[in-house]
Amino acid sequence: MRILITGGAGFIGSHIVDAYLADGHEVAVVDNLSTGSLGNVPSEALFFGADISDARTLNHIFKAFRPDVVSHHAAQISVVESMHNPSGDAGVNVGGSLNVWQCARDCGAKRFIFSSSGGAIYGQVSSPLVSEDQPANPLSPYGLSKMAFENYLTLLKQFDSPIPVILRYANVYGPRQGAQGEAGVISIFSRRLMEDKSCVIYGNGHMTRDYVFVKDVARANCAALYAGDGGVFNIGSGEQTSTVSLYMLICELLGISSKNPQYAPERQGEVARISLDCLRAAQTLGWKPTTPLCEGLGQVLDSLGHTPSLASA
């Protein structure tokens, strides 16, 4: 297949590019490199430096490459930034996403894969395990913009449209993840502890998240290429891990005494707990996560130049 992936120079997108290429697909990457790196893009993939807000440039790229499938991973990903600038967030995550969708439709793409967010869309939940049938209750403009574009895809499916496959990710972690701003807490904790710096936990540390390894997410995107009539799928581990437990586990894998972290007030728009029920993905896509948290953390630390202690693992 000919696959065009937006955000393909970023953390998650670049791993998906690797997986698509390994399966023999022809891949083009569209990325403005605002958070991604050209070094993440394999030489076998075509690269186009462009912003999804630039509809005219996107149109030229799509007409030149003529993808069979579009995998849309470019986004404004900061919850905090969305609170400060909801208009800018919607401009990228709704307006920019619609630009990508229109180009996909106009060039005859058959399938449109969209990277959405489980935690940001479901919000505060009463059940420890959340299925795709859980009513949406976003707590931030970021979650609202993701939900809004999902609704566009659901509506537009009724017309002459690429088949939409919506993947609602849990907290994705793995090699290549940045450690700035609101980047994944695993990357932040790992780098700071390796540099003998203090770590900050927001809230009381008992908030839980569902952490899923990036290469498992890449496999889900490969499975999504053959997802029949499409649909909405949770992509996570199905397990909850508290921030404090995660911090202590990383300390253990690094072979250092657990330093007392600093605590800061809980951030606006954060959910208290979340884990995703991925039964639908297992039944329809044939996908299940295969990387235990401890093993995935080991790969993160290894990518940062540390060899985890097998005894502590």
Q: What is the per-residue DSSP string for 222-282? A: HHGGG-TT-EEEEES-S--EEHHHHHHHHHHHHT---PPPEEEPPPTT--S---B--HHII
142 classed as catalytic: yes
Burial 235-249 (b: 16+ CB within 10 A, else e): bbbbbbbbbbebbeb
Q: Is residue 312 part of a domain?
A: no
Q: Is residue 230 part of a domain?
A: yes
Q: Is residue 119 part of a domain?
A: yes
* Domain assignment of residue 183, given as a range: 173-209+239-276+291-303
Task: Answer yes or no: do 131 and 191 share one domain.
Answer: no
pLDDT digits (tens, 9 = 90+) for 171-181: 999 999 987 65
Q: What is the 3-state secondary structure (H, E, C) of 28-74?
A: EEEECCCCCCHHHCCCCCEEEECCCCCHHHHHHHHHHHCCCEEEECC
Q: Rounded distance, CA 151 to CA 271, Å?
A: 22
Task: Answer yes or no: do 134 and 251 share one domain.
Answer: no
Query: Which residues share a beta bridge with 166?
Result: 114, 232
pLDDT at 299: 96
Give the domain CATH number at 250. Answer: 3.90.25.10
Rg (CA), the chain: 19
pLDDT at 267: 82
Rounded average pLDDT over 81-106: 97
Task: Answer yes or no: do 229 and 151 share one domain.
Answer: yes
- For residue 309, name the pLDDT band (cuts at 50, 70, 90): low
Task: Answer yes or no: do 188 and 219 share one domain.
Answer: no
Task: Answer yes or no: do 113 and 191 share one domain.
Answer: no
Reference 170, options 224, 241, 222, 113; nearest CA is 241
Rounded average pLDDT over 98-108: 98
Give the domain CATH number at 162. Answer: 3.40.50.720
pLDDT digits (tens, 9 = 90+) for 188-239: 999 999 999 999 999 999 999 999 999 999 999 999 999 999 999 999 999 9
- For residue 255, name the pLDDT band (cuts at 50, 70, 90): very high
Task: Answer yes or no: do 66 and 21 share one domain.
Answer: yes
Task: Answer yes or no: do 149 and 40 share one domain.
Answer: yes
- For residue 311, name the pLDDT band (cuts at 50, 70, 90): very low
Q: Rounded distance, CA 116 to CA 104, Å?
A: 18
pLDDT digits (tens, 9 = 90+) for 25-54: 999 999 999 999 999 999 999 999 999 999
pTM of the model: 0.94
Catalytic residue, from 20, 122, 142, 247: name it: 142
